[in-house]
Amino acid sequence: MSPEAVAIWMFVTLAFVIFLGHPLAFSLGGVAVLFGLLGWGGSPEIVFSLFTNKTYGVMEEYVLVAVPLFIFMAQMLDVSGIAEKLFHTMHVLWGPVRGGLAIAVLMVCTVFAASTGVVGATEVAIGLLAAPNLLKRGYHIPLTAGAICAGGTLGILIPPSIMLVVYGGLTNISVGKLFAAAMLPGLTLSALYIIYVAIRCGISPELGPPLPLEERMYSVKQKLYMVLTSLLPPVFLIGMVLGSIVAGVATTTEAAGLGAIGAIILAIGFRKFTWPAVLDACTATLKITSMVLVLFLGGNAFQSIFMGLGGGDAVSSLLLGLQVNPYVILFIMMGIVFFLGMFLDWLGILLIVIPVFTPVVQELGFDPLYFGTLICVNLQMAFLTPPFGYSLFYLKGIAPPEMTTGLIYRGVVPFICLQWVGLILCIVYPPLVMYLPTVLFGE
């Protein structure tokens, strides 16, 4: 079988198996076994010895220890009630502004994203607080849904992000540099969302009416106290995690451990630390980590067979043979990632495209750190794009009955467009990505 045929048929078979409803991890592994046996003369010894080596390689990947630690940190933060206090504070501060509650949602999501590193914990916590409050005050349902979903997805990009940790493990790029590179793009996206909500509600006040005066009657002293007690705890946690990495006193894995300890301290401080809460956090961490690592193993099996049979070389030759500007090829790759994001989760996409695109990027002369950040910015859209956007499912699972699936889908469309704007800004203005890594870590 030619490498071109391998590239085509492996992806066609994978798509067929996934659409039959089989789990992605086992779909990747099963297709890998099938094509490994077909491509190497039906010899199971070669195929399974390769899988064994790849599995052992994953077990030796030290940076992946950070994954369960960051997940546990997010779970304990959810227990501590920080999101509730922070939302109430922003609720009061931004209440007088048109669309102020939606802006408050986006600001809380931004702070929470920099404290957790995952999407699910942020979106569920904020969605449970914000959706009923905004709808009760007459906010436009699609705008409310879009703000919660888009704000929640910031958790997968703004450090400390699980996706950046996994990307660093896949590509051997420093996770600290990835954290630095993703910070400004993440904050840029947050700013774009806030500006969009402010402009839209400024033009059409009925979409986001201001908070009634009686609900924001607090003195300056009271507001200052609310800000200090709700904002300092997450800032303390962010400082423990990101500060230790930037200062060079801790590796990413060690910083994740500090973050887990910090989240426990905050839960104790807010008197929410109980053994049932710890048990729930540990159970959720075990489930999510197991899911991530099983996907990792399935993806490793798929990519090893795909590359071993020449599929990667075939795709590289095809892209490099286009004889066009390198940025055209870059946009083609971004388009492929966006399309896959409609049907697969971020981890499956990383495991499939990274071994294929990395040689192309090196040949085109793009900085691997720059390209990796663009991929991670792009993968935010995978959480919002129908039909299989996980953020849409998270919100639908906790939303009031009047927030229908159709209205949620309608609400995220403007924010997907804004994510494309943010991605294009990163492409046409590379310092947005490369400035912080250069300042913090040198050329």
**Residue-level length of the chain:** 443
| C-beta separation of 209 from 89 below 8 A | no
Residue 83 lies in a domain: yes
Q: What residues make up the domain containing 169?
A: 61-273+369-441
Residue 332 lies in a domain: no
CA atoms of 142 and 148, how far apart (whole Å): 10
| C-beta separation of 396 from 141 below 8 A | no
Residue 158 lies in a domain: yes
CA atoms of 306 and 34, how far apart (whole Å): 11
pLDDT score for 435 = 93
CA atoms of 434 and 205, how far apart (whole Å): 39
Instruction: Report the number of distinct structural domains present in the chain.
Output: 1
**Cα atoms found within 13 Å of the Cα of residue 107, Cβ hemisphere only:** 22
Ranges of the chain whose pLDDT falls below 50: none
Tokens of 157: 């990009």
pLDDT score for 232 = 84
Q: Which of 182, 127, 280, 329 is nearest to 173 (CA)?
A: 182
Residue 437 lies in a domain: yes
Tokens of 380: 């935010």
Residue 141 lies in a domain: yes
Residue 290's alpha-carbon distances to 71, 88, 169, 197, 253, in angstroms, are: 11, 35, 16, 38, 18
Tokens of 288: 């999510």
CA atoms of 317 and 7, how far apart (whole Å): 12
pLDDT score for 334 = 93
pLDDT score for 236 = 84
CA atoms of 365 and 326, how far apart (whole Å): 9
Residue 321 lies in a domain: no
